[in-house]
């Protein structure tokens, strides 16, 4: 898995196909059986975390020198995609572990990498990403969380909102203002630990979908951390945050692919079994055309996502455009496919006895987080290849 970038027309290599088979088998056996209950009870998918850690799939992106698998970007996409096919909430374990830790990988000191990537790779800790705030969503540079230097320490104060897996993760990459006069160039990045004095969490948000992944506010009340927990140089945090998103928007595209594939697979099986007017509804051309469109759009989204993953691995100059395009297109496609899957199941699709309504609810967030699709279009327009 390590370092492979030979994607023949963005087609996965044999090792990627083997990885897909492994993750799919794991997801179907140990994650899918709990997906409905995780959603219904809005509880963290502990079974999924245990299964992923046991198979060393919770953070495959961590480089080998820090105890990880050293998986390339496409392998990481495949893991997230296959887990999302079974349970979108569970797919946020590997996805957010990459999001939270990538700033350390991209810009952190060697000491920070050794300290925080090892436990992540072993499954002893999860990593979250704290960028958004109550008044700083799409305008992330407008954040108000502050970090003030005090000798060999930094003292952080502020509130972060919409933080995925907050309260479960041990580690948090936190963006904070260190020089208010410089706007985005006055923002720095830090690693904050859940156990640091002054760190607390709000109540879990009551969400439409991905109910098994806790989304909470993170409160920083005079959190005093050693100065060596800064990621990169002072004032480089926002640049690191944006560079991180170039890579991790592709993981949201992967999540969207998995949700859409799960819905398509279920709908395809259903229309072969459901009979009306004396024959399976899958024999009707109107239904066949819907399935054809769903499959066509899903494959287009997959090719774009895998292409973006290849560019992420190679650090291509047009990664920003392709990362935004993959996330935007795949999430729009996922919303469309899951909605059509509900339609194909008719009244049954609208009930919680069948999984497609959950997939439809889960798909919606992929159009919103890690930058709304309106913001993705702005990013694309500014970075046309």
Residues 32-46: tens digit of each pLDDT:
999 999 999 999 999
Q: How many percent of the chain have pLDDT more than 90?
A: 96
- With vertex at residue 32, the alpha carbon angle to CA 329 and CA 85, rounded to the nearest 5 degrees, is 15
Distance of alpha carbon 359 from alpha carbon 275, whole angstroms: 24
Domains of the chain: 14-122 (1.10.540.10), 127-235 (2.40.110.10), 238-382 (1.20.140.10)
Specify the range with the lowest mean pLDDT, choosing from 4-18, 308-322, 353-367: 4-18
pLDDT in tens, 297-327: 999 999 999 999 999 999 999 999 999 999 9
pLDDT for 113: 98
User: Residues near 39 by Cβ (< 8 Å), separated by ≥ 6?
Assistant: 89, 209, 211, 212, 358
Q: How many percent of the chain have pLDDT more than 70?
A: 97
**Taking all residues of the chain, what is their mean pLDDT, rounded to a whole number?**
96
Q: What are phi and psi of 94, to 5 degrees?
A: -70, -35
5 pLDDT above the threshold of 70: no
Distances (CA, A) of 59 to 27, 125, 242, 269, 333: 15, 10, 21, 32, 26
User: So which residues are the catalytic ones?
Assistant: 370
Instruction: Give the end-to-end CA distance of the chain in Å, rounded to a whole number.
Output: 29
Distance of alpha carbon 193 from alpha carbon 115, whole angstroms: 12
pLDDT in tens, 326-341: 999 999 999 999 999 9
pLDDT for 13: 82
If residue 363 lies in a helix (H) or strand (E), which one and from where to where?
helix 356-365
Contact between residue 352 and residue 300 where contact means Cβ atoms under 8 Å apart:
no
User: Residues near 70 by Cβ (< 8 Å), separated by ≥ 6?
Assistant: 1, 2, 3, 62, 63, 64
Q: Give which of 146, 149, 191 is closest to 172, Cα–Cα.
A: 191
Contact between residue 155 and residue 178 where contact means Cβ atoms under 8 Å apart:
no
pLDDT in tens, 96-111: 999 999 999 999 999 9
CA atoms within a 13 Å half-sphere pointing along the CA-CB vector of 245: 24
- For the segment 123-133, the average pLDDT, to the nearest whole number, is 98
pLDDT in tens, 153-211: 999 999 999 999 999 999 999 999 999 999 999 999 999 999 999 999 999 999 999 99
Q: Give which of 136, 58, 155 is closest to 97, Cα–Cα.
A: 58
Contact between residue 130 and residue 258 where contact means Cβ atoms under 8 Å apart:
no
Distance of alpha carbon 241 from alpha carbon 236, whole angstroms: 9
Owner of token pair 């990169």 = 232
Owner of token pair 């969400």 = 207
Q: Please name every residue paired with 189 in a beta bridge, in sequence order, or none if there are none.
A: 175, 231
How is residue 199 written in tokens? 């760190």
Distance of alpha carbon 209 from alpha carbon 330, whole angstroms: 17
DSSP string, 196-215: STTEEE-PPP--SS-TTS-E
How is residue 123 written in tokens? 């499954």
pTM as predicted: 0.96
If residue 221 lies in a helix (H) or strand (E), which one and from where to where?
strand 215-226
Q: Give which of 356, 91, 16, 43 is closest to 204, Cα–Cα.
A: 43
Specify the range with the lowest mean pLDDT, choosing from 3-7, 250-254, 335-339, 354-358: 3-7
């Amino acid at each position: 898995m390590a370092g492979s970038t030979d994607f023949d027309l963005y087609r996965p290599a044999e090792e990627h196909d083997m990885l897909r088979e492994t993750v799919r088998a794991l997801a179907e056996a140990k994650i899918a059986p709990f997906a409905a209950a995780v959603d219904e009870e809005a509880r963290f998918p502990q079974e999924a975390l245990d299964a992923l850690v046991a198979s060393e799939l919770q953070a495959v992106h961590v480089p080998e020198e820090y105890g990880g698998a050293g998986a390339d970007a496409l392998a990481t996409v495949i893991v997230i995609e296959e887990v999302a096919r079974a349970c979108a909430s569970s797919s946020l374990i590997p996805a957010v572990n990459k999001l939270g830790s990538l700033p350390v990988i991209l810009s952190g000191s060697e000491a920070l990498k050794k300290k925080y990537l090892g436990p992540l790779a072993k499954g002893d800790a999860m990593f979250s990403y704290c960028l958004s705030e109550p008044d700083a969503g799409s305008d992330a540079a407008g954040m108000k969380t502050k970090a003030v230097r005090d000798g060999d320490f930094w003292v952080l104060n502020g509130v972060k909102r919409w933080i995925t897996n907050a309260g479960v993760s041990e580690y948090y990459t936190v963006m904070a203002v260190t020089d208010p006069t410089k706007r985005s160039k006055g923002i720095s990045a830090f690693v904050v630990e859940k156990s640091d004095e002054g760190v607390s969490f709000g109540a879990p948000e009551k969400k439409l979908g991905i109910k098994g992944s806790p989304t909470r506010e993170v409160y920083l009340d005079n959190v005093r951390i050693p100065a060596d927990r800064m990621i990169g140089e002072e004032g480089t945090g926002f640049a690191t945050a944006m560079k991180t998103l170039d890579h991790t928007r592709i993981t949201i595209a992967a999540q969207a692919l998995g949700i859409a594939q799960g819905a398509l697979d279920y709908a395809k099986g259903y229309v072969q079994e459901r009979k009306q007017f004396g024959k399976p509804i899958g024999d009707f051309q109107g239904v066949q055309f819907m399935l054809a469109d769903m499959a066509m759009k899903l494959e287009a989204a997959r090719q774009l996502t895998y292409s973006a993953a290849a560019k992420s691995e190679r650090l291509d100059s047009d990664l920003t455009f392709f990362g935004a395009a993959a996330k935007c297109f795949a999430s729009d496609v996922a919303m469309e496919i899951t909605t059509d899957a509900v339609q194909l199941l008719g009244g049954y699709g609208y009930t919680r006895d069948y999984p497609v309504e959950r997939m439809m609810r889960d798909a919606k967030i992929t159009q919103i987080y890690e930058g709304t699709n309106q913001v993705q279009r702005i990013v694309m327009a500014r970075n046309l290849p």
